[in-house]
Amino acid sequence: MINCQCVFKRLAGRNVLAGVDLQVTRGETLVLCGPSGTGKTTLLRVISGLETIDAGSIRVDGLPVASGSARALKGKVGMLFQHFNLFEHLNALDNIALAPRQVLGLSKAEAHRRAERLLDDLGLGDKGGHLPTQLSGGEKQRVALARCLAMEPSVMLLDEPTSALDPARTTQVASLVRRLKRDNVATVIVSHDPNFGALVGDRVMSLDMGRLVDLDDDVPCCDPVPGSLAHAAAAARAWRPASMSQAMA
């Protein structure tokens, strides 16, 4: 479903992604954790086609992720942005219903029904008429999640989906992520919350020095680069908080 091969992305004079190999299959949930600035958001952005890559290849559902296939990929990949990126002039319902109407061709009534159902699922049934400025951070985050889910994508990329949520809302989001799994969606979640990661993830990985490291393995998951990956694996394992190790034991 998601297939990245030896992906390189250079930003501000350094290789933020330096040979990323990644496969995520249908129904699989990959959790990506690790310190800030290691390239987690960049990886999601290149998979979604929002950023170009400098070398390597990325395929989603067999289609190359490049500007040429943007139309074919439209709607297949849902991305929840770290900063939500809601349309400030639209209320919650219209934020969610817009793309299903414009991209999937749903009628206004159908798109609104879908949006209302999702708002209900996320505990926001009474917030459909609210503009983003009238919503709390956690409410905006859930509206942004509902906006992704409304497209029923086959790939979901969630950038810190629980950063603004309290534990009860986090549990709600976890159950939605498990629903994605049942619906055979390939999901990549960036999360700093080890409990959430352990709850929903089939695999937990970290980016270090531009390469992916499997936190469940003693060895890095990519081909070794002399002198760097032993350090990367050790750093990633050291980063994992004790609570995550316990939760995953």
Ligand X SMILES: Nc1ncnc2c1ncn2[C@@H]1O[C@H](COP(=O)(O)OP(=O)(O)O)[C@@H](O)[C@H]1O
CB 39 to Mg ion: min, Å:
8
Using the rule CB under 5 A, which residue among 3, 41, 141, 162 binds Mg ion?
A: 41
Binding characters for Mg ion, 57-96, by CB under 5 A (x = yes): ----------------------------------------
Partner whose footprint covers residue 11, from ligand X, Mg ion, none (CB < 5 to 8 Å by kind): ligand X
Q: Which of 3, 41, 95, 187 binds ligand X (CB under 6 A)?
A: 41
Among 23, 25, 37, 171, binds ligand X (CB under 6 A): 37
When asked if residue 206 is in the footprint of ligand X (CB under 6 A), the reply is no
Indicate which of Mg ion, ligand X, none lies near residue 230 (CB less than 5 to 8 Å, by partner kind): none
Tokens of 159: 């950038």
What burial letters (b/e) apply to 110-139, b meaning 16+ CB within 10 Å?
A: ebbebbbebbebbebeebbebebeebeebb
The stretch among 18-26, 30-38, 125-133, 233-241 that binds ligand X (CB under 6 A) is 30-38
Part of the chain binding ligand X (CB under 6 A), chosen from 38-46, 72-80, 137-145, 236-244? 38-46
Q: Return residues touching Mg ion (CB under 5 A).
A: 41
Binding residues for ligand X, rule: CB under 6 A, are: 11-12, 16, 36-42
